[in-house]
Structure 1
């Protein structure tokens, strides 16, 4: 049986792309709506956007590559 290389097949509902996007946008928007400070919002946005880029772009590609290598060596 072929193993899926889609990382999202192995993640729970609360760790899916839509929830990561919604959480990130919510945190950044909430910061702006509550504080109305561009500097605080930027300080919130930098780590949140870094987290989003990692979990939405880098991590899935790395896992897919790893799973693909694992299936070719079996």
Structure 2
């Protein structure tokens, strides 16, 4: 019996969906700049968020998809 693969994002709650991850990152980066006006604080925060996005929006779903295919 050939089962339909389960979509990665259907396994996650609403607060862990791509739109909520991106929205939270944008709000944190923009909020850091608007409240602090310090590039030396905002830049590392934004770079950490970009790394987080790469991990959880690109690499993890791709790995899950490869695992489901094998």
State the Cα deviation string for residues 21-70 of structure 1 (Å, max 9, x = none). 0011111001001100111100111111100111111111111111121x
Unaligned regions of 5+ residues in structure 1, if any?
70-74
What aligned pairs does 1:34-53 form with structure 2 within 5 A after superposition?
A: 34-53=35-54
**Which one has more relative contact order, counting CA pairs under 8 Å at least 6 apart?**
1
Whole-Å separation in 2 of the counterparts to 1:14 and 1:36:
28
Counterpart check, 1:2 vs 2:18: no
Where structure 2 has 5 or more consecutive residues not aligned to the other structure, the ranges are none
Match of 1:61 in 2: 62
Q: Distance in 2 between matches of 1:45 and 1:22?
A: 13
TM-score norm. by structure 1 comes to: 0.85
Q: Which runs of 4+ in 1 moved over 2 A?
A: none
What value does the CA root-mean-square deviation take over the aligned residues?
1.0
Aligned length: 68
